[in-house]
């Protein structure tokens, strides 16, 4: 009789490599590894050999970079989704598409379970599992780090020793380094000196995608971008797909020290955590998109969109991508993006994105209205009546307070 199958979200790192023999030993599953390429840039060569050597029967390498960009990143850019004023959701956005792919592979293989290596303290366990529950409620989820009765490994040394005992002798390093998550949009760093918010980050050791503003060039650099219906279409006059634009912007942003944030954020599980995120291209793309939106969105729509953008960020951060609420807010956002078309120009200089002009065929900016000369659409006398009515509640209340004060005398 053939064994039941489990699909393991596999990175090739020590944690997920140790999980392969552990799954076989404790559950007697056939292990199918699935490596999801979201643009993490790491060498994927040799991964198949490593997975097979570790006891997996098969390895899928799924390149989802364009799907990630078009269907997950762009909705967040359109929404202006930023969590707690700083975090551009790099890890959060990738988790639902990874969950979707894991489910697809599980269905194809007829697997009964999906296993992930996320810890029991973080957000990722929630994001993976909510995605899997929403798409495949019948599939069992295995989270080794929460199964402390049978997952007894506490350190990298323990994991290396466990692998050795099971005939897996790979060149893993036992030393603790930053805990990192990388994809096309960003790289996050946690651990080491960052665990104490009193410590300044050691940026020389830390940064992967760029330099600090202090080390950026002393010359500025101009950039132009075009958008159609909220979607970036060209960079410096060259039309490219979204993933290529982000790749180019990453290089530009990294060079000029853009998009480095140091944040103490509130995790979904209730604790605060401190991390440093590098999002060079994403920071530029969000700023360029907002620069164009200022020109074309009316005040009332812009106001509601800001509120819903915050809500959207929270939904994505909490792993609730595959929900009616996310779909409904995204539908609203898409309507607001209908006319977010035009060109923006800005310059990059030592960590700054400095606006240098924007144009749109749908611009709501009227030079004759905004100038100090009186245009035919605007009669200064109309402001008298408007201010009287707009200020009426304030005036009525002030009169009432005055009356009460006078009665006390």
* Residues with active-site annotation: 15, 95, 124, 179
* Whole-angstrom distance, CA of residue 22 vs CA of residue 142: 12
Three-class DSSP labels, 8-58: EECCCCHHHHHHHHHHHHHHCCEEEEEEEECCCCCCCCCHHHHHHHCCCCE
Burial class, 199, CB count within 10 angstroms (exposed 0-12 / middle 13-18 / buried 19+): exposed
Interacting residues of 240 by C-beta distance below 8 A, sequence separation 6+: 233, 234, 248
Q: Single out the residue of 71, 93, 96, 94 nearest to residue 82, CA to CA.
A: 93
**CA 222 to CA 365: how far, in whole Å?**
24
Cβ atoms of residues 97 and 322 within 8 Å:
no
Q: Which residues contact 211 (CB under 8 A, 6 or more apart)?
A: 254, 255, 257
Tell me how far apart the alpha carbons of residues 11 and 25 are, in angstroms, rounded to a whole number: 20
| CA–CA gap between residue 222 and residue 280 (Å, rounded) | 15
Tokens of 175: 């030393």
Residues 6+ apart with CB under 8 A from 69: 184, 241, 242, 243, 246
Residues 6+ apart with CB under 8 A from 357: 344, 345
Residue 302 tokens, joined: 């812009």
Contact 209, 249 (CB under 8 A): no
Q: Distance (Å, rounded) from C-alpha 100 to C-alpha 107?
A: 11
Contact (Cβ atoms closer than 8 angstroms) between residue 221 and residue 256: yes
């Amino acid at each position: 009789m053939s064994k039941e199958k489990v699909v393991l979200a596999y990175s090739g790192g020590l944690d997920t490599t140790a999980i392969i023999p552990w799954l076989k030993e404790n559950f007697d599953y056939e292990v199918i590894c699935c490596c999801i390429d979201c643009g993490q840039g790491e060498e994927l060569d040799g991964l198949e050999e490593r997975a097979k050597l570790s006891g997996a029967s098969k390895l899928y390498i799924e390149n989802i970079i364009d799907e990630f960009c078009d269907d997950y990143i762009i909705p967040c850019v359109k929404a202006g989704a930023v969590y707690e004023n700083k975090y551009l959701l790099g890890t959060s956005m990738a988790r639902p598409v990874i969950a979707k792919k894991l489910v697809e592979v599980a269905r194809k293989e007829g697997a009964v379970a999906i296993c992930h290596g996320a810890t029991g303290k973080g957000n990722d366990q929630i994001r993976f599992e909510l995605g899997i529950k929403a798409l495949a409620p019948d599939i069992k989820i295995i989270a080794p780090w929460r199964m402390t009765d049978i997952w007894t490994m506490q350190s990298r040394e323990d994991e290396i020793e466990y692998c050795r005992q099971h005939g897996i002798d790979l060149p893993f390093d036992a030393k603790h380094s930053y805990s990192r998550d990388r994809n096309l949009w960003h790289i996050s760093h946690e651990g080491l000196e960052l665990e104490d918010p009193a410590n300044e980050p050691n940026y020389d050791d830390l940064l992967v995608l760029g330099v600090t503003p202090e080390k950026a060039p002393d010359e500025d650099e101009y950039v132009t971008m075009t958008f159609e219906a909220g979607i970036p279409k060209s960079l410096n006059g060259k039309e490219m797909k979204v993933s290529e634009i982000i790749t180019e912007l990453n290089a530009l942003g990294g060079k000029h020290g853009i998009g480095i944030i140091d944040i103490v954020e509130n995790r979904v599980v209730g604790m605060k955590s401190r991390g440093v995120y590098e999002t060079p291209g994403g920071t530029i793309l969000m700023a360029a998109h907002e620069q164009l939106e200022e020109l074309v969105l009316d005040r009332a729509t812009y106001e509601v969109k800001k509120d819903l953008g915050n809500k959207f960020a929270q939904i994505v951060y909490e792993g609730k991508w595959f929900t009616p609420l996310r779909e409904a807010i995204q539908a609203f956002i898409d309507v607001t993006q209908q006319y977010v078309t035009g060109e923006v120009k800005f310059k990059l200089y030592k960590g700054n994105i400095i606006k240098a002009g924007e144009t749109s065929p749908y611009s709501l900016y009227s030079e004759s209205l905004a100038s100090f000369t009186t245009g035919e659409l605007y009669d200064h006398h109309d402001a008298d009546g408007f201010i009287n009515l707009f200020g009426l509640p304030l005036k009525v209340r002030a009169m009432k307070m005055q009356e009460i004060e006078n009665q006390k005398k």
